[in-house]
Amino acid sequence: MARVVVGSYLVRFPVGGYMSWVLQFLVGFRQLGHEVFFVEKAGPGEVYDPVTDRMGDDGTHGMRLLDGLLRRFDLERNWCFVDASGEYHGLSRSKVAGILGEADVFVDMGDRGAWAAETPASCARLLIDGEPGTTQMRWARMREAGGELPRYDHYFTVGRNVAAGTAATPDLGINWQPMFDPVVTDLHPLQDPPRDAAFTTVMSWQATTPIEYGGRAYGMKDVEFERFFELPRHTPERLEIAVAGAHTPLQRLTNAGWSVRDAHAATTTYDAFVDYIRASKGEFSVAKNVFVATHSGFFSDRSAVYLACGRPVVLQDTGFSAHLPCGEGLFAVSSIDEAAAAIEMIAAEYYRHSQAARRIACEFLDTRVVLAGLLRRVGVT
């Protein structure tokens, strides 16, 4: 049994999708028989409160959700949040120091190296790159400005083509290792969707500002959504997006035939996020422009949950089609016509595509596959 410490952001952004993302790793490592802990540090003004829709320092809401969620898995004594003032919540400073001192693996998935000084050299430090393309461009700019790149023992990326060397991303001389975002399929038993269920997704219109590199700006989902804006006019199936973002063109979306919900209201907790997916017929989603333009091979952790729930997925291709089986249960599309055809195929033989979706999740994305493989590659069994 290994001691695995996961450093990420959850209290800082306590909404359902992010809670699900982190939970898959924590429960997945625990499922494999390892001892797992979650740690997080916040700087001034870094905590988002979805109730007030404001940034600040108060992590009370996020800590309450985190503690309640981890209690279900007997992990309520295995977390620590350090607020902007340096106060420790959950585990004490001394206990965290002891845990880190005996850790076998530290997994940085949005931690930004906050615990690097407290992690011993004997601990394998892993980076999980969840923003392929963006990460490499930012690091390239950092190096061009004379800065030093973050140092880890192992670099993993969910950009499968970044790892394969076929993505249009800067060559940093780093050995990127491929992985998928994992999903605990045991948490998502198959259930039939409601009869009136829609194809849905959960998204941010503009998650961040565009990143500029090499004289080009790489944007977010708002850029790619334009290619599919008229999709509701091409299919009789109901299409819905749960979307966040101040610049979302709500009236234009409604006029085009989309059903629109507020993402934060619809998925305010982990349970709400999963319930929203279970109440869906399947997923249709675009990808961030940076993922598409760089052909990164990115595949979403959110889409992994849809598949695990037996919800077929129609997803804009980022190059992931080279790494996952497509055409049954999962479809990689690049145009409105392809998306409409995929949705029609799913609707015509829903049970077959639902079963195929579940099989893909179990065979390729299950934590027992993804995380066990990750640990083997760093010498932990």
Same domain, 211 and 347: yes
Same domain, 64 and 162: yes
Q: Are 37 and 99 in contact (CB under 8 A)?
A: yes
CATH code, domain carrying 27: 3.40.50
pLDDT of residue 207: 84
Note the pLDDT tens digit of each residue in 46-78.
999 888 888 999 999 999 999 999 999 999 999
Reading phi first (left if > 0) and then psi (alpha if -120 to 50, else beta), residue 276 is in: alpha
Note the pLDDT tens digit of each residue in 115-132.
999 999 999 999 999 999
Same domain, 67 and 110: yes
pLDDT of residue 246: 86
Exposure string for 210-239, b = 16+ CB within 10 A, e = fewer: bbebeeeebbbbbbbbebbbebbebbebeb
Could you say which residues of the chain have pLDDT below 70?
none
How many structural domains are present in the chain? 2
Same domain, 177 and 296: no
Q: Are 207 and 288 in contact (CB under 8 A)?
A: yes
**How long a stretch of residues is the chain?**
381
Question: Whole-prediction pTM value?
Answer: 0.97
pLDDT of residue 360: 98
Structural domain containing residue 218: 185-364
Select from 132, 53, 39, 51 the least CA-distant residue to 81.
39
pLDDT of residue 198: 98
CATH code, domain carrying 214: 3.40.50.2000
